[in-house]
């Protein structure tokens, strides 16, 4: 088989033009989107921007965040803006600073338009406060002129506990303060910054334009207001925002224990565990006895080796068996070793080495296919608290790439050894990753705080 089936990812689908909306944009052609954040400081705008960016990239949309604070800090004309901007810089009466802020926003908008109109990306996220109607009008006019679709996300939060913890845990470490003052001074200054913004804050409302599209996220997702959503990207964004939460939790990922096929170097299949694999299954159950994770849910693939790996876990961990967690389908290569494939289908080996992410096994799947079948799993992981996923190498690579924010071409090379467990704990702008490795010989766990590295060749 020489010809591979067409790629089907979000960026690669070509569709015919159909109906167009009031902007003249069709839902069926690729229209660049700008997602514009709105809200007072410490309302989670950067958090949402980064998280959304990671999600959209993982689903195949080339996406980039443009953070106006970073532009401000590199503004050569504003000495105090470069580093250590204190609350007075954000006063509505500080005319010089207002000019610097407008200029920083303008530079970010120009870069966004270049990014989208050059075809380098299809979604740009404009991360700034954008708290005034006039700033938003400038953005809307700019996007209309550049034929870019605009969607606003406003984070509204009046819960003093959330704001206090955002400032204490995250904001005092801002580059605006780092090395310049104590955490207490930084907190005090940041609270004054918020007060300055409040003086000119105009919440989003429908009257700002007939064509305005937005979602308001109220008190970190306790409620939402959604207005005039247009197109695929915007509806995906809304769906995602309605599923994420801020509660502390961890996600654990493990491959099944060693299977009979693993021990022979064969791909796929549905073989049971070897004796080493069974030892790992017991060790895993002991690990979770000791870890005492409240309300742990177990999600397992429907393959025998995964079910056997989870079988000794306490029955009160509710276990669900997901078909979507089954290993990548290697099609005509199922049951073969890599050497067999090289000998029988050399062209397939070559094509796979050339573009492992998009390569689809004849009558089977590509990594890109696996990512798209895992989207409901990611969305459900976002909604849940503590979860243990017992699955397979290719599937876990796709899930890890999401949490690690790794580029899609790297994804098929994340090295996930057998008999190791990854613990992911979401933080404000990233996920902590701890790797627990079980040594079958001495029956002991060891651990290290790191992300799993990339490997050159497939293993086990």
Parallel, antiparallel or unpaired: strands 33-38 and 149-156: parallel
**Toward ligand F6P, which CB reaches closer, 90 or 322?**
90
The correct pick among 30, 33, 39, 287 for binding ligand ATP (CB under 6 A) is 39
Residue 322 within binding range of ligand ATP, rule CB under 6 A: no
Binding to ligand F6P, residues 342-381 (CB under 6 A): none
Residue 85 within binding range of ligand ATP, rule CB under 6 A: no
Triad 324, 330, 333: Cα angle to 5°: 160
Residue 44 within binding range of ligand F6P, rule CB under 6 A: no
> Which phi and psi (to 5°) does residue 84 adopt?
75, 35
Give catalytic residues, as residue numbers.
256, 327
**Toward ligand ATP, which CB reaches closer, 103 or 351?**
103
Residue 42 within binding range of ligand ATP, rule CB under 6 A: yes
Residue 217 binding partner per list ligand ATP, ligand F6P, none, with a CB distance cut-off of 5 to 8 Å that depends on partner kind: ligand ATP
Q: Quick check: 426 and 413 in contact, CB under 8 A?
A: no
Residue 298 within binding range of ligand F6P, rule CB under 6 A: no
How far apart are the C-alpha atoms of 388 and 151, rounded to whole Å? Answer: 35
| Among 57, 63, 212, 221, residue whose Cα is nearest residue 127 | 63
- Give min distance, CB of 40 to ligand F6P, in A: 9
Q: CB 292: neighbour CB atoms within 10 A?
A: 7
How far apart are the C-alpha atoms of 24 and 326, rounded to whole Å? Answer: 42
Q: CB 296: neighbour CB atoms within 10 A?
A: 21
Residue 431 binding partner per list ligand ATP, ligand F6P, none, with a CB distance cut-off of 5 to 8 Å that depends on partner kind: none
Cβ-closest position to ligand F6P: 69
Residue 46 within binding range of ligand ATP, rule CB under 6 A: yes
Q: Which two tokens stand for residue 179?
A: 């090395």
Q: Determine which helix (DSSP H) or strand (DSSP E) holds 196, and give its type and residue range.
A: helix 183-198
Would you list the DSSP string of 353-390? HH-TTT---TTS--HHHHHHHHHHHHHHHHH-SSEEEE
Residue 50 within binding range of ligand F6P, rule CB under 6 A: no
The correct pick among 34, 85, 157, 325 for binding ligand ATP (CB under 6 A) is 157
Residue 169 binding partner per list ligand F6P, ligand ATP, none, with a CB distance cut-off of 5 to 8 Å that depends on partner kind: ligand ATP
Residue holding tokens 């306490």?
A: 314
The dihedral through the CA atoms of 354, 56, 368, 432 has a sign that is positive
Residue 166 binding partner per list ligand F6P, ligand ATP, none, with a CB distance cut-off of 5 to 8 Å that depends on partner kind: ligand ATP
Residue 72 within binding range of ligand F6P, rule CB under 6 A: yes
The arrangement of strands across the sheet holding 431-439 comes to 318-322, 297-301, 387-391, 251-255, 420-426, 431-439, 444-449
The separation between CA 356 and the C-alpha centre of its own chain, rounded to angstroms, equals: 21
Strands annotated E in 232-332: 251-255, 297-301, 318-322
- Give min distance, CB of 191 to ligand F6P, in A: 12
Residue 411 within binding range of ligand F6P, rule CB under 6 A: no
Binding-site annotation, residues for substrate:
255-262, 305
Binding mask 138-177 for ligand F6P (x = CB under 6 A): ----------------------------------------
Residue 293 binding partner per list ligand F6P, ligand ATP, none, with a CB distance cut-off of 5 to 8 Å that depends on partner kind: none
Residue holding tokens 């849940």?
A: 384
Q: Quick check: 34 and 116 in contact, CB under 8 A?
A: yes
**Toward ligand ATP, which CB reaches closer, 427 or 459?**
427
**Toward ligand F6P, which CB reaches closer, 176 or 334?**
176
Binding mask 210-249 for ligand ATP (x = CB under 6 A): -------x--x-------------------------x---
Q: Quick check: 125 and 49 in contact, CB under 8 A?
A: yes
Q: Which two tokens stand for residue 415?
A: 């090295």
Question: 200 CB contacts (<8 Å, ≥6 apart)?
Answer: 92, 131, 132
Residue 129 within binding range of ligand ATP, rule CB under 6 A: yes
Parallel, antiparallel or unpaired: strands 444-449 and 33-38: unpaired
Binding mask 90-129 for ligand F6P (x = CB under 6 A): x----------x---x----------------------xx
Residue 69 within binding range of ligand F6P, rule CB under 6 A: yes
> Can you give the binding site for ligand F6P, defined by CB under 6 A?
41, 68-69, 72, 90, 101, 105, 128-130, 193
> Can you give the binding site for ligand ATP, defined by CB under 6 A?
39, 41-48, 69, 129, 155, 157, 162, 166, 169-170, 217, 220, 246, 428
């Amino acid at each position: 088989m020489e010809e591979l089936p067409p790629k089907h990812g979000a960026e690669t689908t070509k569709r015919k033009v159909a109906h167009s909306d009031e902007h003249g944009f069709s839902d069926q052609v690729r229209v660049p989107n700008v997602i514009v954040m709105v809200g007072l400081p410490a309302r989670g705008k950067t958090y949402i921007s980064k998280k959304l960016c990671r999600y959209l990239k993982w689903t195949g949309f080339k996406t980039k965040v443009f953070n106006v604070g970073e532009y401000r800090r590199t503004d050569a004309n504003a000495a105090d803006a470069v580093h250590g901007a204190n609350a007075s810089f954000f006063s509505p009466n500080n005319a010089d600073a207002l000019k610097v802020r407008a200029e920083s926003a303008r530079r970010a908008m120009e870069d966004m338009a270049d990014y989208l109109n050059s075809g380098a990306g299809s979604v740009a996220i404009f991360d700034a406060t954008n708290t005034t109607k006039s700033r938003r009008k400038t953005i809307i006019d700019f996007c209309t002129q550049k034929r870019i679709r605009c969607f606003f996300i406003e984070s509204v939060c009046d819960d003093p506990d959330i704001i206090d913890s955002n400032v204490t845990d995250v904001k005092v470490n801002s580059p605006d303060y780092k090395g310049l003052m104590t955490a207490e001074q930084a907190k005090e200054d940041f609270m004054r910054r918020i007060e300055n913004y409040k003086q000119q804050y105009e919440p989003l409302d429908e009257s700002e334009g007939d064509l305005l599209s937005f979602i308001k996220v109220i008190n970190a997702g306790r409620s939402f207001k959604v207005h005039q959503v247009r197109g695929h990207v915007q509806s995906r964004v809304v769906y995602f925002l309605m599923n994420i939460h801020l509660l502390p939790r961890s996600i654990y990922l493990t491959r099944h224990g060693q299977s009979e096929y693993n021990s022979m170097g064969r791909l796929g299949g549905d073989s049971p565990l070897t004796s080493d694999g069974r030892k790992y299954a017991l060790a895993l159950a002991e690990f979770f006895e000791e870890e005492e994770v409240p309300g742990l849910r177990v999600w397992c693939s429907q393959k025998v080796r995964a079910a056997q790996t989870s079988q000794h876990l306490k029955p009160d961990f509710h276990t669900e068996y997901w078909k979507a967690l089954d290993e990548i389908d290697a099609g005509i290569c199922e049951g073969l070793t890599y050497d067999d494939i090289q000998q029988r289908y050399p062209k397939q080996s070559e094509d796979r080495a050339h573009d492992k992410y998009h390569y689809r096994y004849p009558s089977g799947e590509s990594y890109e296919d696996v990512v798209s079948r895992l989207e409901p799993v990611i969305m459900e992981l976002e909604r849940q608290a503590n979860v243990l996923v017992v699955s397979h190498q290719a599937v876990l690579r796709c899930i890890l790439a999401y949490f690690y924010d790794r580029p899609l071409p790297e994804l098929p090379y994340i090295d996930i050894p057998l008999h190791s467990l990854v613990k992911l704990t979401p933080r404000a702008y990233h996920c902590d990753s701890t790797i627990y490795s079980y040594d079958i010989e001495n029956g002991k766990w060891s651990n290290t705080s790191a992300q799993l590295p990339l490997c050159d060749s497939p293993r086990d």
